[in-house]
A and B are shown apart, each in its own frame.
Chain A
Amino acid sequence: MRIGIITFPGSLDDVDAARAVRLAGGEPVALWHAEHDLKDVDAVVLPGGFSYGDYLRAGAIAARAPLMQDVVERAKQGLPVLGICNGFQVLCEAGLLPGALTRNSHLHFRNRDQVLVVERADTAWTHAYADGQRIVIPVKNGEGRYVAADADLDRLEGENRVVFRYADGNPNGSSRDIAGVTSEDGRVVGLMPHPEHAVEDLTGPSTDGLGFFTSVLKAVVAA
């Protein structure tokens, strides 16, 4: 099972994401933002970091990269796509996910282990979890405050598209404690916290993040 990981100028967590894919039993495939080549991958991860230094808006310039045109086109046909942190910002800027990520309400960078509640265990990236399950994975961002107009937030909640909510404290002032959302078909998921940093006891607060990567391997087989 080939899982592509896109590297943009300024990506930081592409190597950790590749390692998480390998630990889950998949084959990580490095993808370069400037090429129109998805290399026949079965799913794509957009990793964290600071693509283009967060110039203009976080994720805005990376969302217009050549490879993103291919990602958008294939995602609309059901290709599973996961955006983590800066990757989530890129997916929102590319229009694959609703809403936007803005400066944290307290204006500080926040880095800590974070409790999340899984609200949707039926997306391509969350089958390994149970609805209502609490997981602990790191969060680290300065522009992680999820926002959208109230009417859009109501619509999202009505369509059950919130995948994760922050619990035991909201680290960035996100509307309605939203940590992650999904596309209408449940194949594209974006979240600010970092599952790829919680896949081994030695380096993470838990191994709760591994389920993202085992989930997509099963979702690809099922599809």
Chain B
Amino acid sequence: MIRLLLLIFYLSIFSQVSYADTTQEINISEWSTLPIAHEGRIKPIDSFARLLLKKISGRETTSNLSASEWLAEVIFNPSQAMERKIFKASLPEVLKLEQRKNKHYSYIEIAVSIDKNKEIISQLIDAKETDWTPDQRELMRVFQNYILMTQALRSLTTILPLPLKIPENIKNNDGETTNYLALKKLEKTITERVKKIVKQKGTNLEKYSEKELQIAELSFQLKTIESGGKNNVLFKIYPENPNNNDANWLSPWEIMLNGKGSPQSAKFIREWQGMALSYQQKDGKKFNTLVKKNRELTQGYTSTIKIEKIFNYIPLKNMATGIYFILFLTIIFTSLRGIDISQYTSIISTLFNVSLATHLLLIISRIFILNRPPVGTLYESVLFVSLICALVMFIVSLKQVKEKKLTSIFIGSLSAFALLFISNGLVEDNKMATLAAVLNTNFWLSTHVIFITIGYGFCLIAGIMAHTYLFQIVKNKNSKKALQDFFKTILTISIFALLFTGIGTILGGIWADQSWGRFWGWDPKENGALLIVLWLIWLLHSRISGHLHQLGFIVGLAFINIIVILAWFGVNLLNVGLHSYGFIEGIALSIGAFCFFEIILISTLAIKAQKINRAIK
């Protein structure tokens, strides 16, 4: 409890100072485009703020502040930020918090709760994470967010003004802001004075005079702030060598405590100190000038960062998902109702193209921002595969639209929407995470992984087309010629699927040879890729040689979706082998349900289709 009170007291002392007259508003939007190093890459403060706020509160804005405005308050005015109710606690009863409708609590409330639960937390830290119950998991999630927030609140405690008075007899410079750095200059003198006082009067504070108490408090503050800042590496805003692209980025506390100071860092920190002071005094003019000055040091990073911030504000993914969904719904609804919408084919086609262009822009922006191919994580691969599906169907639609047919647009919208929707469940906090070292080699990512994911895209499209083909036979709507044309398209797409998955698998072997020293290791992911290739080879060979009739080929191809999903997501669930980089929890049930549903659906469709075919014959 004492520690908790100390912590709250420690952060409270960085309270607001008196306001100055202001004529210009503080431009947080401009400030939020300053660069910061976080999770292995340089991003705008805006992205960092969104990520941090989402992690803590589950949202990217507070009730009345944007993420950047909230972060500015956290680092420049921690005492006020501590009272803002931003901590999401889904199970307040577990955390011994009062029940509240919106389940959001302030830092101070969470600190009290953590203190009440400290014994359980320390036991959980020692226990295996896999043994935690869902309640304990929630407790630890909030605890980890509490640690994160504590770090954020302490980011600039080196330079934030302190409401303390330095006695005249030990003061160095008049007019200097009293902060940690100013106290640090006097450390030796303060320590000697405290030693002297303790020698003369002991440790009983009641015996101290007012001036002696003042000295003792300064010493206490210095030690408390310094111990609070130790290991604070969250807010890495200073590039140690800005001329170097691989510069080591440091937090203000790292500069101070790791001997990384230099005339350049001193200037940099002075500017941030000015920003903090002008933020607290609401002096927009000074704040904005200092932001501009500060940008000079990091201007090499400006262009990417500004573009990333723009994309933070444009919900490209939601826009594309929304249009795909509307198209898919419209086509399926009108088709089920028997409404003829062929006269609106061009409008539907244009909407599909707009959605595809938005989707494409999303992927291109990610390539530009992350400076690597967009297929590094499972989340990214889903985004990319959905684009491939839409692109393939766009190419097919070029011919079909002329014939006033909407099948390709329907399949494209359905597959892209479904995958984009699934991707929402795969991303936790960081949509632009940095990769594991073995993946972060642009050459191999741009060859092996891209080929294999394009292959996945072709496979899924071929699988969905096979489903559609089966539905069309069952509904017995299309003419024989139309079905034959459709079959030819499916056959072509399945050949492309084999081409890309085949080349991708071989390239993967070459990568494995260079990275791990062996071409093939029967790793689950490798086996999954091989299974897709073998399945497609079997289907295509059987069809070409005449061993498999058209319907048999289509039914076999419809099953490729199950194999792809198992190879793509399922293998990661095993958490074994060298491809466990994409490991995610909680999708086993979804995959199981999907496979079960697919087996039932395909089997039912296949039996019905065969009956119809026999009847026709």
Q: Do A and B come from one complex?
A: no
Q: Which residues of B contact A (CB under 8 A)?
A: none
